[in-house]
Amino acid sequence: MEKLTRDDLMSLEAYDAHRPEFRRRVMAHKKNRRLPLGPHAALYFEDSLTMQYQIQEMLRAERIFQADGIEEELATYNPLIPDGSNWKATFMLEYTDVAQRQEAVGRLIGIEDSVWMRVAGFDRIYAIADEDIERETDDKTSTVHFMRFEMTPEMVAAIKGGAALSAGIDHPGMTIEVDPVPEITARAIIADLD
């Protein structure tokens, strides 16, 4: 999947004019790229469109229009675009109750290393998490982690050939298995392997 360049981005003025329609398109696209892992966790699979939206929103919020600022945003978000042999996702712990969330982040330290995907017939692929920055302390984990699931060429071929996909978490404080991954989500993320 191609990385984004300045040519892929709209100016602040153009983005302001197109934002409502672009946002609707991106939200519809993202809907099929969310994989719930039980009631309190989810993977949000990223791609060039989700990252274009993120960059456009950052440029808008920060009123960035200078070339060096735009390049900085591209350098920050381009690593979250899949490379053809992997999936890249944002993992989120989702608790609306503050007390539950505080208890969970203390109990789920290390959860980012327990998230996995599996192509039928192959071993689990554990996430390579938080390559940009450490997101946990000795006392708690973060509610947001950035992950990469790296696959072999054989796994990619099997997925493209119709092999089933499953996912889960095997942390002592949260054990979940989704088998199979819903077809609509599987179809959406298989496109990331081109």
Q: Is 145 exposed, middle or buried (0-12, 13-18, 19+ CB in 10 A)?
A: buried
H, E, C per residue of 81-99: CCCCCEEEEEEEECCCCHH
Using only the alpha carbons of the chain, give its radius of gyration: 18
Distance, in Å, from the CA atom of 101 to the CA atom of 171, rounded to the nearest integer, reads 16
87-114 confidence digits (pLDDT tens): 999 999 999 999 999 999 999 999 999 9
Distance, in Å, from the CA atom of 36 to the CA atom of 51, rounded to the nearest integer, reads 20
27-42 confidence digits (pLDDT tens): 999 999 999 999 999 9
Domain residue limits, the chain:
1-31+48-81, 34-46+82-194
pTM of the model: 0.91
120-162 confidence digits (pLDDT tens): 999 999 999 987 666 667 789 999 999 999 999 999 999 999 9
Nearest to 193 by CA among 172, 165, 167, 170: 165
Q: Is 56 exposed, middle or buried (0-12, 13-18, 19+ CB in 10 A)?
A: buried
CATH of domain 34-46+82-194: 2.60.40
Say how many residues make up the chain.
194
DSSP 167: E
**Model pLDDT, residue 43:** 98
Q: What Å distances lie between residue 183 and 146, 151, 157, CA to CA?
A: 23, 19, 17
Cβ 159 vs Cβ 167: under 8 Å: no
Element (H, E) at 176: strand 174-178
Please state the rounded mean pLDDT for residues 73-82. Answer: 94
The token duo for 60 is 């808008």
